[in-house]
Amino acid sequence: MAQTSATASDELAIGLSSFGPVEEVAERARYERDWSGDHVGRARVVVRPRSTAEVQEVVRRCAAMRVPIIPQGGHTGLVGGGTPADSGREVVVSLERMNRIRGIDAAGFSMVADAGCILAAVQDAARAHDLYFPLSLSAEGSCQIGGNIATNAGGINVLRYGMTRELVLGLEVVLPDGRLFEGLGGLRKDNTGYDLKQLFIGAEGTLGIVTAASLKLHPRPTQVETALLGLPSLASAVGLFAQARRDMGDLLSAFELMPRACIELALEVATDLRDPFDPAPVYILLEASTGGLVELRPILERFLERAMEAGHVLDGAVAASTTQARDFWRLREALIEAQVRRGRHLRTDVSIPISAIPAFIERTEAALLATAPECLPLAYGHLGDGNIHLNVVPPLGLLPEQADPFLQRCEAIVFAELDRLGGSISAEHGIGTKKRAAFLARKPALQLDLMRRLKRALDPDDLMNPGRILEPAMPKGSS
Ligand SMILES: Cc1cc2nc3c(=O)[nH]c(=O)nc-3n(C[C@H](O)[C@H](O)[C@H](O)COP(=O)(O)OP(=O)(O)OC[C@H]3O[C@@H](n4cnc5c(N)ncnc54)[C@H](O)[C@@H]3O)c2cc1C
């Protein structure tokens, strides 16, 4: 017989039993850990409301009893923001049952979707109307649009279409006291006072629960060209990017960096794929796309000729079919899977000025290898956005109790180089609990003061995702 939650009576005490509570312990585990398994906690109750009104009611009841809330999407955030703490005090509000596309305005290039819609479903709904929602990331089959908004997600198309912030026309948000911020109007231009919706984008659920969004759509690209290129060096990757921007302008939609070590690791997992051409030190996966009357292939070919003449490119392949294009992208995805298979490893998600990327990678890798010659540093990512994942796979044979100190030492090395170059410790994934100390140590005092004031203004009792981004508030009355 299924084991039932020890907190069922608790849930009744807060009056949440009619909001889809998850009572079986085995099933609750899914809501108490994240995709990576690095973040695991214990929820007081897990509820799954079906409508905005139900979310409001849950929040009102929790607020009345001063019970903290964790808004939760698809569990793919990697910084512990959507996972409950160990305390067992927090109520998880999963948006998974709010998954309706509310409407599409094809002439106005916009869509209104519930926050719990899976990102891939939002993309599919746009495609069904011959439109395009450009947010795209490896986790798109699991992450939710509400989670994307809460984290201001990036992904592979930022270069052309911007971060999630640029794709949001309006929001509906349940505030920490249960009131509803109704901002789904979706006007493209509205200069009346402060643009309040921006506060909730990237707030990681600390200022309210996003329940729906009005999203900006684009014309569906009818021509997409994908090329995998082999380059002599990291410096040539930066040179190639500058040339691609000048030669192809806004037709360039993705520019992903993968040094040789990444390709080798990816091929260990994607065993049906072969080395695409003679090994090169550095690879760029590039995509250009367009709709309308522009002819894309000749532009790409002229750009590649010029890139070879300039010595930026040694070899390469332009996908001859959508299957081949997909295989190029599978290399990028297999790289993530291969790291997961190696077990616990350091994940970072940093940004630096694009021209500083070669120095950052070379210096950081040298410093890492000086500390641990057997470790495997992997530096890859959205070069066109200055966003690099400088990850570290620990040496084989590291004992479990040695893992944490080792990963912390590696992170300190990465962040020290980043500080020297004026970078950011989070380009995409956010702060959550995992990066809070590093964030608080680096953000200027004035900016932290403004953030704390904003948090107090909207959430005076610190009930919405407490301890995420900022430190938890001191209990009232304590000094
Ligand atoms: C394999 C893989 C690849 C990834 N690639 C990228 C990438 O390329 N670019 C990128 O930016 N990220 C990437 N990520 C990170 C992750 O997918 C994004 O951060 C994503 O936006 C999180 O969405 P989610 O629905 O899974 O949110 P969750 O993990 O459930 O939550 C993330 C945060 O948002 C809050 N939240 C969730 N839903 C709501 C809501 N409705 N209202 C208010 N707050 C809410 C949570 O409290 C938490 O703080 C990747 C992750 C994985 C596992």
- Contact present, 332 and 285 (Cβ < 8 Å): yes
- Atom 44 (ligand 1) nearest CA: 205
pLDDT value at position 10? Answer: 65
Distance in Å, CA 226 to ligand 1 centroid: 27
| Sequence-separated (6 or more) residues with CB below 8 Å from residue 238 | 354, 355, 357, 358, 383
For 202-217, what is the mean pLDDT?
A: 98
Q: Which residues pair with 27 in a beta bridge?
A: none
- The closest-lying atom of ligand 1 relative to the alpha carbon of residue 432 is 49
- Contact present, 282 and 241 (Cβ < 8 Å): no
- Percent of the chain past pLDDT 90, that is, above it, reads 87
- The closest-lying atom of ligand 1 relative to the alpha carbon of residue 137 is 8
pLDDT tens readout for residues 67-88: 999 999 999 999 999 999 999 9
- Please give the full DSSP string across 353-413, using - where no structure is assigned: -GGGHHHHHHHHHHHHHHH-TT-EEEEEEEGGGTEEEEEEEPPTT--HHHHHHHHHHHHHH
Can you list the pairs that 324-327 forms with residues at least 24 positions away whose Cβ atoms lie under 8 Å? 324/226, 325/224, 325/226, 327/273
For 342-366, what is the mean pLDDT?
A: 95
Distances (CA, A) of 171 to 98, 115, 174, 212, 371: 15, 9, 10, 6, 47
Which range has the worst mean pLDDT, 14-28, 65-79, 288-302?
14-28
- The closest-lying atom of ligand 1 relative to the alpha carbon of residue 115 is 41
pLDDT tens readout for residues 29-79: 999 999 988 899 999 999 999 999 999 999 999 999 999 999 999 999 999
Which range has the worst mean pLDDT, 116-130, 339-353, 463-477?
463-477
pLDDT value at position 198? Answer: 98
- The closest-lying atom of ligand 1 relative to the alpha carbon of residue 164 is 11
Q: Which of 75, 143, 435 to mutate to test the pocket of ligand 1 (most atoms within 8 A of CB)?
A: 143
Question: What percent of the residues of the chain are helix, what percent strand, and what percent coil, each to the nearest 5?
Answer: 40, 20, 40
pLDDT value at position 2? Answer: 35
Six-digit token string for 70: 């964790």
306 pLDDT tier (thresholds 50, 70, 90): very high
For 353-369, what is the mean pLDDT?
A: 96
Distance in Å, CA 146 to ligand 1 centroid: 8
Distance in Å, CA 447 to ligand 1 centroid: 24
pLDDT of 315 higher than 90: yes
Closest by CA position to 377, among listed 322, 403, 414: 414
pLDDT value at position 13? Answer: 60
- Contact present, 470 and 455 (Cβ < 8 Å): yes
8 pLDDT tier (thresholds 50, 70, 90): low
Ligand 1: residues within 6 Å at CB? 35, 70-78, 81-82, 95, 115, 137-139, 143-144, 146-148, 150-151, 153-155, 204-205, 209-210, 336, 428-429, 432, 465, 468
For 428-432, what is the mean pLDDT?
A: 95
Mean pLDDT computed over every residue of the chain = 93
Q: Which residue has the higher pLDDT, 479 or 236?
A: 236
- Atom 2 (ligand 1) nearest CA: 139
pLDDT tens readout for residues 147-187: 999 999 999 999 999 999 999 999 999 999 999 999 998 89
Q: Which of 46, 151, 385, 469 to mutate to test the pocket of ligand 1 (most atoms within 8 A of CB)?
A: 151
